[in-house]
Amino acid sequence: MNAKDNAIAVVTGAGSGIGRAVAVELLRTGWSVALAGRRAETLEETAALAPGAASLTVRTDVSRPEDVSALFAATVERFGRVDLLFNNAGTFGPGGVPVEELPFEAWRHVVDTNLNGAFLCAQAAYRQMKEQDPQGGRIINNGSISAHTPRPMSVAYTATKHALTGLTKSLSLDGRPYGIAVGQIDIGNAATDMTSRMQTGALQANGEVAPEPVMDVADVARTVRHMAELPLEANVQFATVLATAMPYIGRG
């Protein structure tokens, strides 16, 4: 789907970080974008970064089925269809907490946001993409380097990102008859507020704390747009975009 075709995207977690960067990249290149997130004011700030572009802000808690249904209903009411879901909303949860001390409520919050939220949004996108004419669309799930290799004391985040890979594969398989292409982007050390601690010191597998290199989040946004603008007959199943010198290959 090419932006020149007046394509319609839904971006979750669009109020900051990677979600904001991707949403602005799409808006600036001709997409119409529904911006979803927990805070209306940050969504409005994102929209203001692409003045004149066709955007819609919808306050959404992706862990709540009724919020997700309302998001997609509002998108279709405004724009008529959904061509792309960037399933991005997520949380790290509490950092540096040993597994034996992690409160169940903290575990459940991460699972509800990262996994259940991704499922609910994908399910709503799936339903719409099957019904619309022309049929089909694309879902891009925001995985993580942690979908492959965990950091110390990140059990909830890592478990959900591994699960997201299974979600991507199942959705990709089940979407084939309906022209729904599903892929995943795994990102390592994009420079956002969420990853600011990486530059000052992150816990390594050997117990040391060391600063890590980061990359410009705009490079992630351009990669997502490339994936999004492929024709539906082609799919980037998995893409890994990371700061070149971060401790991932050989981590641990």
Relative to beta strand 180-188, strand 55-59 is: unpaired
**What amino acid is encoded at 126 in this protein?**
Y
Q: Are 11 and 1 in contact (CB under 8 A)?
A: no
Tokens matching residue 95: 């950092």
The H-or-E segment that residue 215 falls in is none
Residue 248 among the catalytic residues: no
Instruction: Please identify which residue in the block is written with the tokens 């709503």.
Output: 124
Relative to beta strand 202-203, strand 209-210 is: antiparallel
Residue 150: DSSP 8-state: P
**Which of 133, 222, 221, 143 has the alpha carbon at shortest distance from 182?**
143
The H-or-E segment that residue 188 falls in is strand 180-188
- For residues 248 and 241, give the distance between their C-alpha atoms in angstroms, rounded to a whole number: 11
Tokens matching residue 216: 């410009």
Catalytic position from the list 126, 157, 178, 248: 157
- For residues 36 and 19, give the distance between their C-alpha atoms in angstroms, rounded to a whole number: 9
**Which of 120, 91, 89, 121 has the alpha carbon at shortest distance from 106?**
91
**What amino acid is encoded at 174 in this protein?**
D
Which residues are the active-site residues?
A: 157
